[in-house]
Amino acid sequence: MKKLLAALLVLAACKSVPYTNRKALLLVSASEEAALGESEYKNALSQAKVSTDAAANAQLQRVGARLAKAADKPDYKWEFTLLDDPKMINAWCLPGGKVAVYTGILPVTKDDDGLAVVLGHEIAHALARHGSERMSQGLLAQLGGAALSTAMASKPAATQQLAQQAYGVGANVGVLLPFSRGQESEADRIGLIIMSKAGYDPEASVGFWERMSQAAGGSNTSPLDKYLRTHPPDDQRIEDIRKWIPEAKGHARR
């Protein structure tokens, strides 16, 4: 009976990801996910240096606002913060719309379209609820099917504890949630749609990822590396993006 209840719970928790319609397992509620995201966002910012660059901050807020509007998720409390670290070529997003961008990535983004590629990708993680999906996968793996229905009844305390473990927060590293290669690819695809809806050119994504590859020392070509990386290999990523650009343009703002 417990196995049957657990199976029914898993089926009930499967939701469709926006735009791709992929079925995702979401055992963590949106409210719990957002609360955790806000808490970890404050914690991460307390350990980082927020940039005081007026021009760069203005650009981030301008592009972020347009993309957040295009995301059409009014229940999210979108925040965009620029962190001062010229050596960190990165950005991240937490559930509920909490986005951080490091100054080190700005020379790679170059302009508003390039920054829209980065923010669109991060916003896509939030829209697809990849954080909740990763936590749900962690819950399922740790609890096992037979104990799932019992453990879920103890939320939110148990969820909070396991969610913390799933996140493995490390603000000094700049990667708060290690998404899978599949989720990264999905975020690329959805991000292109969001930036196109916001009036930015999805074609700019190709140039951005080429520059990112150069900044990282070139595309990784080791066969083993293709399986170990959490992000898609650079050449594969760019090839996929080229295929998705026509779809994104179909969502362009009229």
User: What average pLDDT does range 44-65 have in this prediction?
Assistant: 97
Q: How many CA atoms lie within 13 A of 204 on its CB side?
A: 23
pLDDT at 178 > cutoff 80: no
- Per-residue pLDDT tens digits for 77-94: 999 999 999 999 999 999
Is residue 199 assigned to a domain?
yes
Domain limits at 216?
Answer: 50-129+177-249
Catalytic annotation, pick one of 122, 133, 184, 186 = 122
96 in any annotated domain: yes
Q: Is residue 107 part of a domain?
A: yes
Q: Is 133 a catalytic residue?
A: no
Q: Which amino acid is at 41?
A: Y
Per the domain annotation, does 223 fall within a domain?
yes
Q: What are the residues facing 50 on neighbouring strands? A: 83
Residue linked to tokens 């229940």 = 75
Structural domain includes residue 157: no
208, 109 in Cβ contact below 8 A? yes
User: Residue 215 domain-assigned?
Assistant: yes
Q: How many domains does the chain have?
A: 1
Q: Is residue 58 part of a domain?
A: yes
The answer as to whether 5 is a domain residue is: no
Global confidence as pTM: 0.81
3-state helix, strand, coil in the chain (%, to 5): 60, 10, 30
Query: Strand, helix or coil at 127?
Result: helix
3-state secondary structure of 91: strand
Is the Cα dihedral 119, 123, 125, 128 positive or negative?
negative
Q: Do residues 108 and 211 make contact, with C-beta atoms less than 8 angstroms apart?
A: yes
Q: Indicate the range of 32-41, 89-98, 143-152 predicted with least confidence.
A: 143-152
- pLDDT tier for residue 172 given thresholds of 50, 70 and 90: very low
CB atoms within 10 A of CB 14: 12
Least confident of 182-196, 212-226, 235-249: 212-226
Mean pLDDT score of the chain: 81
